[in-house]
Amino acid sequence: MSAERDTARTTGRAACSLSERITQRPGEAADNTGEAADAVPPSKVMEKCYTMQMPTQKKRINITIDDATFAAIERLADEREESISRTSLRLIEEALEFQEDRYFSKVADARLRKKQRRVSHDEAWD
């Protein structure tokens, strides 16, 4: 295995060259020895190159949802002219922002309940 291939495994980047993707025809020499090699089916060659990395560096999750939830997401995706995956991602991001807002609201409420000297906006930025 070449150093390029080792690097590909650790970094997740493909190291397939064009020559690795091209299949040999039956009867063609596999190397300089002149001996004929068996043909490699294209599907096997693609698997060899494809499985070296994921098509994206983003993480993937698999969730199970009921039919009503799927229909709602599908309807929303159609309205937004987005894929169901993209719509789902946006909904998750919005929910995370909402949770963050709730947390900081609780922190702010706790600070406001404390009796301490307050600094006005003008005093703070003078």
**Neighbour count for residue 77 (Cβ, 10 Å):** 18
- The token duo for 6 is 């080792």
Query: Would 112 be classed as within a structural domain?
Result: yes
Confidence band for 6, pLDDT divided at 50, 70 and 90: very low
- The token duo for 103 is 């947390």
Query: Would 80 be classed as within a structural domain?
Result: yes
Query: Would 31 be classed as within a structural domain?
Result: yes
Kindly report whether the global pTM for this prediction surpasses the value 0.75. no
Query: Would 90 be classed as within a structural domain?
Result: yes
Same domain, 44 and 73: no
Token pair 């005093």: residue: 123
Helical ranges in 25-83 per DSSP H? 42-50, 67-80
Query: Would 102 be classed as within a structural domain?
Result: yes
Helix (H, G, I), strand (E, B) or coil at 29: strand
**Cβ–Cβ < 8 Å for 30, 36:** yes
Residue range(s) defining the domain that contains residue 38 = 3-50
Structure confidence by residue, pLDDT tens digits, 50-106: 455 557 788 889 999 999 999 999 999 999 999 999 999 999 999 999 999 999 999
Domains of the chain: total: 2
